[in-house]
């Protein structure tokens, strides 16, 4: 049990890798932010020896306001930029204080606290709060502890911001899917034009439009759509993305070869039968990819969109 009077911590005995795994499992089970923050503070308090306080502060217009914590009731708000917490928040860097009495700007909430670490909560360059732990022992925290607590806080940020991100991206995802569908429909139209055109020059012109659109679509899938769909928690969707990603890469290669062979109207006019044969093959491959995307991937992605 933690608390006053325990022996000074042997930080080498703390297995932060194990704690990281455990805290991830603890947070994954509950989507609510307050519950996650509360359990995170309790987890740290219970697993690190020789603490008397562990908890969050989050900013509002008054300064840093107390969040979920374990320990004695604490000061709130902390004036903007003030105290060890304010320094961590403003500088966006972890603060290790060996002796709180030696730091003029330390804000004392519990006279028993003697040393402290404060880690900023950073999400994509933005600091959205701090996590503070206090000990009744002077110089309780080593650099290894700071690095370890940063790793635990990293898991917390990753899990909670993943959620915020997903909510945020829902509308964005709807637009991305609509764009994907529009590309696919145009590609389908151009492909059926090529099926019915007889004139080599008209075919070559349509092929070059198709080339532009198909490449844009493959890039859009590869760099924009697939990474968005694959980073969610839906394992089925991830699997479908993986498979389709392979198909898309194959198609891109096939398309390059096809384009190299049928570069212009004169090559097409010189071997119409050969062109038709190879066009039919590549058109089937394009159609297969678009159908998998439409019937498999987009359908599986639909539930991610909040209508
Ligand atoms: N000591 C902190 C204030 C928070 S308490 O320790 C819980 C500070 O100086 O920012």
Q: How confident is the model at residue 11 (pLDDT cuts 50, 70, 90)?
A: low
DSSP, collapsed to helix, strand or coil, labels residue 267 as helix
The residues that bridge with 96 in the sheet, in sequence order, are 117
| pLDDT tens by residue, 162-195 | 644 444 445 567 777 787 888 888 999 999 999 9
Q: Which of 25-29, 37-41, 226-230 has the highest mean pLDDT?
A: 37-41
In the chain, % of residues over pLDDT 70:
90
Q: At what angle do helices 272-292 and 235-261 cross, to 10 degrees?
A: 170
CATH topology for 11-164? Answer: Beta-Lactamase (3.30.450)
Expressed in angstroms and rounded, the spacing between residue 158 Cα and the centre of ligand 1 is 24
Cα–Cα distance between 152 and 293 in angstroms, integer? 38
Ligand 1 pocket by C-beta < 6 Å: which residues? Answer: 53, 74-75, 78, 83-85, 106-107, 109, 113, 116, 132, 134
Expressed in angstroms and rounded, the spacing between residue 81 Cα and the centre of ligand 1 is 12
Q: What pLDDT, on the 0 to 100 scale, is given for residue 230?
A: 75
- Bridge-based pairing of strands 63-71 and 115-123 is unpaired
Q: What pLDDT, on the 0 to 100 scale, is given for residue 3?
A: 40
DSSP 264: S
Cα–Cα distance between 121 and 115 in angstroms, integer? 20
Q: Which helix (H) or strand (E) holds 126?
A: strand 126-135
DSSP 78: B
Domains of the chain by residue range = 11-164, 171-306
Measured at the CA of 233, the angle between CA 228 and CA 235, to 5 degrees, comes to 95
* Closest ligand 1 atom number to CA of residue 107: 9
| pLDDT tens by residue, 127-164 | 889 999 999 999 999 999 999 999 999 999 999 886 44
* Statement: residue 9 has pLDDT above 50: no
* Statement: residue 4 has pLDDT above 50: no
Long-range contacts: 141-147, Cβ < 8 Å, 24+? 141/11, 141/96, 141/98, 141/115, 141/116, 141/117, 142/11, 143/96, 144/11, 144/12, 145/9, 145/11, 145/14, 145/48, 145/117, 146/94, 146/96, 146/117, 146/119, 147/16
The more confidently predicted of residues 96 and 233 is 96
DSSP, collapsed to helix, strand or coil, labels residue 141 as coil
* Statement: residue 6 has pLDDT above 50: no
Nearest CA to ligand 1 atom 2: 107
* Closest ligand 1 atom number to CA of residue 113: 6
User: Which of 52, 65, 85 to mutate for ligand 1's pocket (most ligand atoms within 8 Å of CB)?
Assistant: 85
| pLDDT tens by residue, 200-236 | 999 999 999 999 899 988 888 877 778 777 766 677 7
Q: How many angstroms from the chain centroid is the CA of residue 274?
A: 47
Task: Count CB-CB contacts under 10 A for residue 259.
Answer: 16
* Closest ligand 1 atom number to CA of residue 85: 10
């Amino acid at each position: 049990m933690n608390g006053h009077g325990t022996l000074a911590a042997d930080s080498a005995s703390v297995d932060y890798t194990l704690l990281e795994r455990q805290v991830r499992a603890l947070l994954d089970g509950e989507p609510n932010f307050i519950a996650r923050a509360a359990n995170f503070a309790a987890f740290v308090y219970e697993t690190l020896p020789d603490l008397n306080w562990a908890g969050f502060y989050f900013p509002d217009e008054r300064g840093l306001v107390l969040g979920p914590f374990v320990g004695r009731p604490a000061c709130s708000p902390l004036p903007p930029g003030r105290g060890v917490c304010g320094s961590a928040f403003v500088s966006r860097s972890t603060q290790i204080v060996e002796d709180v009495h030696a730091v003029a700007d330390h804000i004392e909430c519990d006279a028993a606290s003697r040393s402290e670490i404060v880690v900023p909560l950073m999400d994509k360059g933005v600091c959205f709060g701090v996590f503070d732990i206090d000990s009744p022992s002077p110089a309780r925290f080593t650099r290894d502890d700071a690095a370890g607590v940063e790793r635990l806080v990293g898991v917390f940020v990753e899990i909670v911001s993943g959620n915020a991100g997903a909510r945020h991206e829902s509308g964005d995802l709807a637009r991305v899917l609509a764009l994907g569908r529009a590309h696919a429909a145009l590609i389908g139209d151009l492909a059926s034009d090529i099926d019915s055109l007889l004139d080599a020059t008209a075919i070559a012109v349509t092929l070059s439009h198709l080339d532009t659109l198909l490449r844009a679509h493959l890039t859009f899938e590869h760099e924009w759509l697939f990474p968005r769909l694959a980073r969610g928690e839906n394992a089925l969707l991830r699997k479908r993305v993986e498979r389709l990603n392979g198909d898309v890469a194959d198609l891109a290669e096939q398309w390059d070869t096809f384009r190299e062979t049928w570069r212009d109207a004169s090559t097409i006019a010189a071997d119409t039968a050969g062109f038709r044969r190879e066009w039919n093959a590549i058109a089937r491959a394009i159609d297969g990819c678009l159908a998998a995307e439409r019937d498999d991937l987009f359908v599986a992605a639909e539930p991610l969109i909040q209508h």
